[in-house]
Amino acid sequence: MTVLVAVNTRDAIILASDSQGTVTRPLVDPRELTEFFEAGNDGKLRTDLQGKPLLDTWSHIESHAMDLPFKIHYNVDKIFALDPLKMGVMVSGMASIGDRTIKSLMNELRTSVKLTELCLTDHTLRDAAKTVLDFLSPYYEKEFPYGRNPEIELMLCGYEKNRFTSGVIRVNVQKKTISEPDYDFCIFFGGITREIQRLLFGIDSANKSRLMKRSQELLGQYHEYLAQHLKNNNINIELPKPEEYGGELSLFYNVSLDSLQMNCATYPEQDAIECAEFLVNIMINTQRFSNQVPSTGGKVQLAIIRKQSGLHFINHK
């Protein structure tokens, strides 16, 4: 996996990523298949009432597979210029499609006439995103016509022809979708970003979902307790269900969490560069010290995009 960060300021946009590439393989933990076998020493395959084996197709095994790290590379390029446009693109997910690396594909696109022709028009971020998606899609569809289609997400950043402030637009190659462009002066991120979310928002999306689910469960349980209490006291009242109150009973309704307050719009270029590097390093070091196999790592790659001069690498190897 990958961590991507873009810091958008009034003068430039900074791009940052880690440089670790992880080669994964779909592997199955044998313990995930215990439901298909009898308990005991013989461990015979279980059958249904008609005597048919519960584990009867390959898809049953494949559904229990997880993509786990198999080999790690530490100098993978994830930031690419889209010359002659004043734009760049960052990539998370796969580092290659078949026998072509993302780097070689981006270099081919950059040296083709597609971007040159686009540069002569009043191009937008969406125009550039569509050009990149249309270029990558045939390679992706040829390599993954069906089955386990891995995800490739692009963060395309930079300046449109007729705008003097930069923006970001996201492209999902697997789903063939393009987001709406965002021109806010803020921090954008992609890939693995759990700890970054906790710092910037006070909570990450996974834990927020868990807490919201738990709060709904507790509200429902409390509703049942109240209803039983009224029944035990011969009070015939039907209590309204929690969901009837809409979002007012949501755990995070009208709540501001303590988080890092930032104003990226006013950042000088050097501050924005150091901020982007800081955030990427948070993820790299978190992965380094966790008890799991790191999925981000290596040196931080940094680039800056200005309206006048386009993309320039800051610390490119």
pTM for the whole thing?
Answer: 0.82
Q: Which residues pair with 312 in a beta bridge?
A: 304
What's the gap between Cα 85 and its chain centre?
25
CB 15 within 8 A of CB 305: yes
CB neighbours of 168 closer than 8 A, spacing ≥ 6? 6, 8, 13, 125, 155, 156, 157, 181, 182, 188
CB 28 within 8 A of CB 205: no
Which helix (H) or strand (E) segment holds residue 169: the answer is: strand 167-172
Predicted pLDDT of residue 233: 94
Would you call 127 exposed, middle or buried from its count of C-beta atoms within 10 A (0-12, 13-18, 19+)? middle
Predicted pLDDT of residue 125: 97
SS3 100: strand
Residue 173 structure tokens:
């190659």
Rounded distance between C-alpha atoms, residue 197 and residue 207, angstroms: 11
Predicted pLDDT of residue 56: 81
DSSP 53: B
| CATH no. for 3-26+68-202+259-313 | 3.60.20.10
Residues of the chain with pLDDT under 70: 23-24, 41, 67-69, 147-148, 316-317
Check whether the bond before 84 is cis (ω within 30° of 0): yes
Cα distances from 134 to residues 99, 138, 288, in angstroms, run 19, 7, 36
Predicted pLDDT of residue 37: 84
Dihedral through CA 227, CA 229, CA 234, CA 240, nearest 10? -20
Would you call 40 exposed, middle or buried from its count of C-beta atoms within 10 A (0-12, 13-18, 19+)? exposed
Predicted pLDDT of residue 14: 98
Q: Where are the beta strands (DSSP E) in 51-132?
A: 66-73, 79-81, 87-93, 96-97, 100-101
